[in-house]
C-alpha cells in the first residue's frame, strides 16, 4: 500500500490513508483478505480500487451495511 502512496497509521498498521489532488481523504482498512474503503468522494474510491486491484486480486461486494 505504501507503494501506492498510502500512509500507514501509526496506531494500526492495517489502516491506510491517502489524500488526492482535490483534497479528498480516503481511509482504507485491510484485514486478512478484506478491504474497506471510506471516503466522501465516490470517484476517489473507484480510482483507489482500480489502483489497488493492479496489485491485489479484489472483488467488489458493494456497500457496507
- pTM over the 0.75 mark: yes
58 assigned to some structural domain: no
Q: How far apart are CA 51 and CA 38, in angstroms?
A: 15
Find residue 56's DSSP bridge partners.
none
7 assigned to some structural domain: yes
Task: State which residues form the domain around 46.
Answer: 2-53
Dihedral sign, Cα of residue 1, residue 39, residue 60, residue 54: negative
Q: How far apart are CA 49 and CA 64, in angstroms?
A: 15
Mean pLDDT of 19-23: 89
Asked if the model's pLDDT at residue 65 lies above 90, the reply is no
| Count of domains forming the chain | 1
Which residues have CB under 8 Å from 30's CB, separation 6+? Answer: 1, 14, 15, 16
pLDDT at 15: 95
Amino acid at each position: 500500500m505504501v507503494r501506492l502512496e498510502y500512509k500507514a497509521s501509526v496506531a494500526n498498521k492495517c489502516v491506510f490513508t491517502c489524500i488526492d489532488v482535490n483534497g479528498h481523504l480516503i481511509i482504507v482498512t485491510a484485514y486478512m483478505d478484506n478491504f474497506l474503503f471510506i471516503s466522501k468522494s465516490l470517484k476517489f474510491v473507484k480510482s483507489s480500487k482500480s489502483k489497488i486491484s493492479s496489485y491485489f486480486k479484489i472483488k467488489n461486494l458493494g456497500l457496507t451495511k
